[in-house]
Amino acid sequence: MKKERRTKMKGRISRIGSYAISSSIRDHHQQQQPCITCTTFNILAPIYKRLNHEDPSCRESDYRAFWMTRNQSILDWLLYERSSIICLQEFWVGNDELVDIYEKRLGAAGYTSFKLGRTNNRGDGLLTAVHKDFFRVLNCRELLFNDCGDRVAQLLHVELANPLSQSRNNDVQQEILIVNTHLLFPHDASLCLVRLHQVYKILQCVESYQKENNLNSMPIILCGDWNGSKRGHVYKFLRSQGFVSSYDTAHQYADADAHKWVSHRNHRGNVCGVDFIWLLNPNSYRKFLKTSWTEAVFGMFKYLLRRASLTEHDAFAFLKADHHSDCITYSGFCEALRQLNLIGHCYGLSDEETRDLWDQVDIEGNGVIDFKEFQQRIWSSSASEQRDEYSNEVQDGGPKDSKQQTIGFSVKNAVLFPPEVEKGRWPDDYSLSDHARLTVVFSPIRMPCSQLNRKDKEENGLQTDLMWSGSQKGNKSSSTEPSKPDDILRTLRVHENSHTSSDIRQDCAKIASSTAPAPSPFEDFWFLQVKFPSTRALQFDY
């Protein structure tokens, strides 16, 4: 009976989801304008799929019939939908038979595919496929983060196989950059900074690739499982770089609409929206990457202090410590970051990154930060101030008669599968994966093109240990991701009238100590219960 229900449900989803996509394509064909579709899907590697919740060691990978049937169904769906771009996460690269099945079926359907396993032989990885009818692959790069999570990313440089129908000459650049990634799972609060690092590295490598190849500005599409919601710092970081969530754009959701939809349910039953297809058009406003990074780090810093009910002056005292003058020294700055768990461990900021943050705050360059500098560069930073509404129309990038033009994209439609997740609910009889599949319809349009010139950003960018494939890998002391106890509620005491730096430091240190509560892995936030005269629970967004 359950099997029959599932079959009916799949048929219903097929009609709803595929109709929404196919109708968009049909509309574009009627307008004699090409249409590009993109699908991202975490397909839940069999090595991670639990078959018995009472026995975590019982995995689908031990039962060939189970994982074979499920993955054949996944391929059936992908080939039925036939997206121009397919980005898969948790692809079981460690199983040659499964890899061969995907490569053969995708290849026979006209796809060119690229796979990349996580470092240290984790077993799973990424697969990115583009259809030959839509794209010609110019280059493919493999990004190895070489961090505690052994995460990776793929960068594809592609060109439209067929020119824009509205193009009457060859002056329109028709190239696109596509990224597929799966960010670190936030097992504890310290790893939220690692995830921010990973996104920063991806954007740095995209900029480096554009600079190395002397490329003009072009559309950038970021796909994947970001393991964080719209509440988190990764989301705000990407928004500050001009990226828009394609699904939210299609449905006209604001940044604050964090619970309109979900895309993932874990083995504990938690649900959250973590799968995104991000779009950056060539004419979108972008802050300098280094500026966005600095604001994002200070955003985490401010968040911790504000959630501990510290005022602006309390935060300044926390940074100032017990220094005799009314200013912040570098040593006090470092100590504050250490007590907030942002430095001092293998996942934290490096010495170089810490010094770089300091240099950007020390406006006068005199080795100390006064209250005015603190206000301007730390407390009043605008990292999280984004536009509330998404626009489905691209910005005016310049004069229409610009000699050199490029393509951009307008988001026409976006569908999550199964449809219940679009209402924030997870259907109990959906078993294809623990993630929903997201497909977006893009309409290519012409826009003026400007030469990418960000030399200062590249020269001053963060130095990371990320290496292109083939480079010597950095030494790693451990290949396992740390974990925290499941209990995410802790009680800490905040002095209601504490204004001395020592009291403030003691209490703030408790917020981000190694024994602090782990974040909820599917909402990108964690909880602390703070005792005041009236006890109340505070929500901590990471």
Predicted local confidence at residue 485, as pLDDT: 33
Q: Which two tokens stand for residue 184?
A: 């670190």
Beta-carbon contacts of residue 269 (< 8 Å; ≥ 6 apart): none
Count of helix runs (H) and strand runs (E) in the chain: 13, 21
Q: Are 462 and 290 in contact (CB under 8 A)?
A: yes
Q: Measuring CA to CA, which residue among 225, 265, 242, 196 is closest to residue 420?
A: 265
How many Å apart are CA 132 and CA 118, to the nearest integer? 26
How many Cβ atoms sit within 10 Å of the Cβ of residue 338? 17
Residues (pLDDT < 50) of the chain are: 1-17, 19, 28-30, 166, 383-402, 451-501, 504, 508, 511-542
Domains parsed from the chain with CATH numbers: 36-289+403-454 (3.60.10.10), 297-378 (1.10.238.10)
Read off φ and ψ for residue 511, nearest 5 degrees.
-65, -40
pLDDT digits (tens, 9 = 90+) for 332-361: 999 999 988 899 888 889 999 999 999 989
Cβ(209)–Cβ(376) below 8 Å: no
pLDDT for res 93: 98
Give the start-end residues of each E strand in 394-451: 405-417, 437-448
Quote the pLDDT of residue 364: 87
Q: Which residues contact 243 (CB under 8 A, 6 or more apart)?
A: 220, 222, 278, 279, 280, 284
Q: In what order do the strands lie in the sheet with 491-493?
A: 491-493, 525-531, 536-541
CA distance 91 to 41: 10
